[in-house]
Structure 1
C-alpha cells in the first residue's frame, strides 16, 4: 500500500487546492493571502463590493500580479493583453 502526502489549502473553511506538491500549495496559499490583503485594501478605500466580488477581484489581481505591476509602471493594457494572448496555446483534437 502506498502512502501519499497531500497538501490542502483552505480559505475561509473551504478547500481551494489539494495537491501533492508542497511548493505549489505554499504558492497558492501566499496568493490567497495577497488576494485577502488586496480585497481589504480596496474595501478600506471606500469601494463597496459584495463579498464574492471582492474576493474574485482580489484573486484576479493576485494571480496576475506581474501584469498589474507592469500596468502600474505605465505599460498599456493592450500590450499586456497581446502578450497574454500569445502565451495561450490551443490544442485541437484530431
Structure 2
C-alpha cells in the first residue's frame, strides 16, 4: 500500500497532491475574497455576483496584469476555450 500526501485548502476543501499547488490555489481564493469584498463595498450587487466576479478576476490575474501593462486586448481572451483552465484540475 502506498501513501500519497495530500494538502487540503481550508477555504473550499479542495485537495492537492503537492503543497505548492495548494498554496497557489489558496492565494487565488484569498484574492477572490478580497475582490468580492471590494465590489460589495463599492457597488450594490448580489453577493453571488460579486463572488463570481471576484473569482473571475482572481483566476485571470496574470492576463489582467499584462493587460494593465499595455496589452488591453488580452482581456478579450478571458473565458475563451483556448485560455480557459479548470482551477480544480489538480484537485484530487
Same fold (TM over 0.5): yes
Aligned length: 82
Change (3 A) 1:84 1:54: closer
**Structure of higher CA gyration radius:** 1
Unaligned runs of 5+ in 1: 90-94
Larger RCO (CA under 8 A, 6+ residues apart) = 2
Unaligned runs of 5+ in 2: 84-92
Question: Which of 24, 38, 43 matches 2:40?
Answer: 43
Distance 1:83 1:36 in 2: 20
Change (3 A) 1:83 1:65: closer
Q: What secondary structure sits across from 2:10 in the alignment? A: strand
Match of 2:6 in 1: 6
Q: Does 1:88 align with 2:82?
A: yes
Deviations 1:29-76 (A, max 9, x none): 00000111111111111x122222111111110111122223334533
Distance 1:84 1:53 in 2: 16
TM superposition score normalised by structure 1: 0.70
Residue 9 of structure 1 deviates from its aligned partner by 1.2
Q: Over aligned residue pairs, what C-alpha RMSD do you find?
A: 2.6
Which structure has the highest strand share of the two? 1
